[in-house]
Amino acid sequence: MAFFSSSTRQVPPTAVVPQHVAVIMDGNGRWAKKRFLPRVAGHVKGVELVREMVRACLERGIQYLTLFAFSSENWRRPQDEVSLLMQLFVKALEQEVDKLDRNGVRLRIIGDLSRFEPRLQELIRQAETRTAGNTRLDLTIAANYGGRWDIMQATNQMLATQPEKRDGWQESDLEPHLSMSFAPEPDLFIRTGGEERISNFLLWQLAYTELYFTPVLWPDFDTAEFDKAITSFQQRERRFGRTSEQLVEKPNA
Ligand code: IPE
Ligand code: IPE
Ligand code: MG
């Protein structure tokens, strides 16, 4: 296969739990609206569901959980909602990091953090440093994140550190500079809330991820719903371009 240049090579087993789950937590606003509550009530409930999801991943032995909390496009929302979301983010960092640390969770925040206020940036830095030695679960929160931004920043970083790449580069040259370079590509992508789109989440990394869309709104996405997504994943055959027969004979040839 002389022309095979994609970096997505390995065929991970599907019968087991996914190693890396990436989630677009959508539907908070609609959940609140249905109850005649302000949108922020949906976001508050949404934070509770993050806690439940982390617990579920720890129990199931899932190593990487990546959550989309705020997209680079979400700044377009009304100023009040944006500032409430920022307050919730600060509060969650102040209140949850201790417990995450005690449970062996390593926390990382990916995205363009320069747009956040200094207090939030400092809390992020502290949380990452404090949990840096933990290995039970890698929890990543994407905040002011965009998949296109990630590819652009990685390209700029690569060219700044290795100017000779200007004459030609490969996927493997870029990958160390992407925000998720520490993790394998997601095995399972979940989007709650009924929309079936990627909304500029992990564009590069989702190339061969199994996609799962559910109409369940994020504040209703409990452990039982999560298990349905995992079961759906376990029933799929991941071929990465190969045929079924090849997989039976030699999965990683
Ligand atoms: C997702 O829920 C949370 C964020 C984008 C921060 P939404 O706020 O998008 O909820 P809906 O889609 O309006 O219901
Ligand atoms: C995507 O949700 C981003 C997050 C969940 C943080 P949105 O609700 O903002 O997505 P669109 O704009 O409807 O696609
Ligand atoms: Mg939404």
Does some domain include residue 216? yes
From the CA of 26, how far away is ligand 3's center (Å)?
A: 5
Nearest-ligand number for the alpha carbon of 22: 2
Nearest-ligand number for the alpha carbon of 30: 1
Phi/psi at 90 (nearest 5 deg)? -60, -45
Q: What is the pLDDT along the chain (253 residues), one digit of tens a residue?
A: 334 456 665 666 656 899 999 999 999 999 999 999 999 999 999 999 999 999 999 999 999 999 999 999 999 999 999 999 999 999 999 999 999 999 999 999 999 999 999 999 999 999 999 999 999 999 999 999 999 999 999 999 999 999 999 999 999 999 999 999 999 999 999 999 999 999 999 999 999 999 999 999 999 999 999 999 999 999 998 888 888 888 888 777 7
Q: What is the pLDDT of residue 5?
A: 53
Cβ neighbours for 197, distance < 8 A, ≥ 6 positions apart: 191
64-71 and 210-213 as β-strands: parallel, antiparallel, unpaired? unpaired
Catalytic residues: 26, 74
Q: Is 30 in the pocket of ligand 1 (CB under 6 A)?
A: yes
Q: What is the pLDDT of residue 183?
A: 98
The residue whose CA has the least distance to atom 14 of ligand 2 is 199
Does some domain include residue 197? yes
Ligand 2 interacting residues, C-beta cut-off 6 A: 24-26, 68-71, 73-74, 195, 197, 199
Nearest-ligand number for the alpha carbon of 70: 2
From the CA of 43, give the closest atom in ligand 1. 3
The residue whose CA has the least distance to atom 3 of ligand 2 is 71
Q: What is the pLDDT of residue 1?
A: 36
Does some domain include residue 36? yes
Residue ranges making up the domain that contains 96: 20-246
Output the domain CATH number for residue 155.
3.40.1180.10
Does some domain include residue 3? no
From the CA of 26, how far away is ligand 2's center (Å)?
A: 6
Angle formed at CA 208 by CA 204 and CA 210, multiple of 5 degrees: 120
Task: Report d(CA 138, CA 67) in Å as an integer.
Answer: 11
Pocket test for ligand 2, best of 71, 73, 189, 195 (most atoms within 8 A of CB): 71
The residue whose CA has the least distance to atom 7 of ligand 2 is 26
Handedness of CA 58, 63, 68, 69 (dihedral sign): positive
Does some domain include residue 10? no
Tell me the CB-side half-sphere exposure of residue 50, using CA atoms within 13 A.
27
Cβ count near 87 (within 10 Å):
13
Domain count, the chain: 1
User: What would the 3-class secondary structure string for 61-126 be?
Assistant: CCCEEEEEEEECCHHHCCHHHHHHHHHHHHHHHHHHHHHHHHCCEEEEEECCHHHCCHHHHHHHHH
Q: Give the environment of ion ligand 3: residues with CB less than 5 A.
A: 26
Helix axes 39-60, 79-102, angle to 10 degrees: 20
Q: What is the pLDDT of residue 15?
A: 62
**C-alpha 224 chain-centroid distance:** 20
Tell me the CB-side half-sphere exposure of residue 21, using CA atoms within 13 A.
26
Does some domain include residue 126? yes
Cβ neighbours for 41, distance < 8 A, ≥ 6 positions apart: 32, 35
Does some domain include residue 14? no
